[in-house]
Structure 1
Amino acid sequence: MNDESVNKMGTPTPEELREQVQRTRDGLGRTAGAPPTAGADIRTQVKERAAAVREQASEKAASASGLMRGTTEQAARLVKDRTPDAVLEKTAEAAAQVREGAVRAGRYAADRTPDPVLDRAGRAASAARAHRVPLLAGGALFAVLLLVRRGRGRKQ
């Protein structure tokens, strides 16, 4: 067996081996010459990556929220355009009656609810207002997951 037949079978030639060794030495030289903290500060890298992921998730949530808002507005316009005026008037009257009933029920509940419960409910409402975007994004994600799951159940 000569050198050429061995080389055709996939083994490297001596020259190829020398080039590979030289490339490896060059790479090791660059790694050894790098500053000692270049790869050592993993905590900072993790924090940077987490911030990037958080920002990306925030952008996606805002995009999904805007898309949902636009779709909802379009659907509302379509429904309103196709609904007869008489039905719209009756609906407005019914909505006014429901609002009045809700206000009365709210006053009644507020009068009868103990102060500690009202205080906790107020704090919970404030927290929800302060974190509105993540709550809306989470709710939207939950709704999408339910719809996907429901759609898969019908296909089977």
Structure 2
Amino acid sequence: MTQPPHDEPTAASPEELREKVEQTRAELGETVEALAAKTDVKTRAQQKATAVKDQATAKAGELKTKATDLAHQTQDKLPDPVKDKAAHTAEQARAKAAQAGQLWHDKAPEPVQHTTAQGARVAREHRALLLAAAGAAVLVWLACCRKE
């Protein structure tokens, strides 16, 4: 068998040896867990995706708040006749949208309605991500327009 190096003290009793073995096992287990975590690409990718999604959600919330504030500021600056006209136009748009929805329900085939409903549900579930993507698209479009 091998002998311990001269600079390491030898254990005085079997109990000390057991303690050292347990300590070494614990350290080895921690090392193996750390290495396994580093090589688990799928989990690391999921963690990164979650972090990016959280960032996008936060940014979308900020953009939504800024857009709402800007809309309120702009609306406050409008004269009353313009506000009234805007409210009337919005009401007309809601009525036309309801009419179009009813026409869609009456005329569209069932599979198309089902697929559209499923797409709308997915969009509602991922609203923050869609808003972030739309915001990014607007920023890219604005950047492109400025270069011209």
Residue number among 49, 52, 58 corresponding to 1:57 in the alignment: 52
Q: 1:127 to 1:55 in 2, by over 3 A?
A: closer
What is the alpha-carbon distance in structure 2 between the residues aligned to residue 38 and residue 64 of structure 1? 34
How much is the aligned-residue C-alpha RMSD, in angstroms? Answer: 2.4
Counterpart code for 1:114: P
TM-score (norm 2): 0.66
1:73 partnered with 2:68: yes
Residue 83 of structure 1: how far off its partner (Å): 0.5
1:43 partnered with 2:39: yes
Whichever of the two has the greater Rg, that structure is: 1
Q: 1:39 to 1:104 in 2, by over 3 A?
A: closer
Q: Which moved more, 1:130-139 or 1:79-88?
A: 130-139
Residue number among 111, 127, 131 corresponding to 2:126 in the alignment: 131
Residue 40 of structure 1: how far off its partner (Å): 5.0
What is the alpha-carbon distance in structure 2 between the residues aligned to residue 48 and residue 79 of structure 1? 46
What is the alpha-carbon distance in structure 2 between the residues aligned to residue 141 and residue 112 of structure 1? 35
Residue number among 86, 98, 103 corresponding to 1:108 in the alignment: 103
TM-score (norm 1): 0.63
Aligned to 2:82: 87
Q: 1:43 to 1:103 in 2, by over 3 A?
A: same
Q: Say which SS state the counterpart of residue 121 (structure 1) adopts.
A: helix
Aligned to 2:22: none
Residue 69 of structure 1: how far off its partner (Å): 1.5
